[in-house]
Amino acid sequence: MSALKVLRIGPLASIQDQGRPGQLQRGVSRGGAADLLALAEGAALLRQKADLAALEMAGIGGLFEATAPLRIALTGAPMQASLDGENLAWNASHQMQAGQKLDIGAARQGVYGYLHLGGGIDSAVQLGARAVHLMSGLGSPVAVGDLLPCGADPGREVGLGLQAEDRFQGGALRIVAGFQSDLFDAEVRARFADTAFKRGGRANRMGVEMVSGGAGFAAAGQLNILSEIILPGDVQMTGDGKPFVLLREAQTTGGYPRIGTVLPCDLSKVAQAQTGLDLQFTWVTLEEGLAIQAKHDALVKALPATCKPVLRDPARMQDLLSYQLVGGVISAQADPFDTGDIT
């Protein structure tokens, strides 16, 4: 069985997939990868399904040793990576041989980096998913000495790269009105969109704090709001009117008022924002939001077609023999324009 042995690992590294739908009635949010786009990018690079599990690394990676030949891909927040001392391209797929060591350092941008294995990480399935959900007691962080086993991998292709969407610089977050938006006066909603926020220091897989100068954003009668269902993307106000954008492991219900909901396609930008980055909310209508999301979904679906071979120096390729080098061989003496008798 092919696997990666964990020799060193950063804190809060965990196995994640697309999460477990249908568990809200049990008090379990869907969870899954903080940056779902990174899962899709890794799947495209390895030519496999996007619902397979990968290793999510928060801020820093680790050191891993291959027990047998396997394919890997690296996506999400760019991190310094090397294979037996040779630098590896990020947003690309690579071949590892038995005994080789993969070293992944700190994030140069963003927060969450992802290590994908050919065939996905074949960890235990709990409530229909492999995603670790610490708040619900499902799974645990990856630790030194753990084995990350590969699932069945029929693929062989490596050496592909892609131009990843830059979601590591902060920027605009598109937001639609929700059930509780009318609890906020029109002036408050307008001021909310005109306010320049920064990503605060309080953040985890449940949500991200937004900080700004000036007054908070209070809702009318907010002390009398009943607890309602909560979903990722909801922008919830604390008692002092400070907004938090809720992420994949948000609580399932809550009584704090919510001014609106960030589009799913912009949540990767929230999750990947480092402390102090500028963020600003832009109101869009529901119809505009649906069109924006549909366009994003189409681009994600087309990711495999955007993957191209990574240009590398053959003299420095430790995995050179893993490539098909003899296909299409021609004679050095034959006339390339002689197609033979085709009459």
- For domain 171-299, is the CATH number 2.40.100.10? yes
Helix, strand, or coil here: 277?
A: coil
> What is the identity of the amino acid at 34?
A
Confidence of residue 338 (pLDDT cuts 50, 70, 90): low
Confidence of residue 326 (pLDDT cuts 50, 70, 90): low
Query: By the 8 A CB rule, do 130 and 33 touch?
Result: no
CB under 8 Å to 265, separation ≥6 — which residues? Answer: 292, 293, 296, 297
Q: Find the mean pLDDT for residues 312-317.
A: 54
Q: In the predicted model, is pLDDT for residue 324 greater than 70?
A: no
Q: In the predicted model, is pLDDT for residue 244 greater than 50?
A: yes
Taking the C-alpha atoms of residue 333 and residue 81, their distance in angstroms, rounded to an integer, is: 44
* Dihedral sign from CA coordinates of 202, 206, 212, 218: negative
Residues of the chain with CATH 2.40.100.10: 171-299
pLDDT of 320 reads: 54
Q: In the predicted model, is pLDDT for residue 325 greater than 70?
A: no
pLDDT digits (tens, 9 = 90+) for 61-101: 999 999 999 999 999 999 999 999 999 999 999 999 999 99
pLDDT digits (tens, 9 = 90+) for 176-212: 999 899 999 999 999 999 999 999 999 999 999 999 9
pLDDT of 343 reads: 40
pLDDT digits (tens, 9 = 90+) for 7-30: 999 999 999 999 998 888 788 888
pLDDT of 313 reads: 54
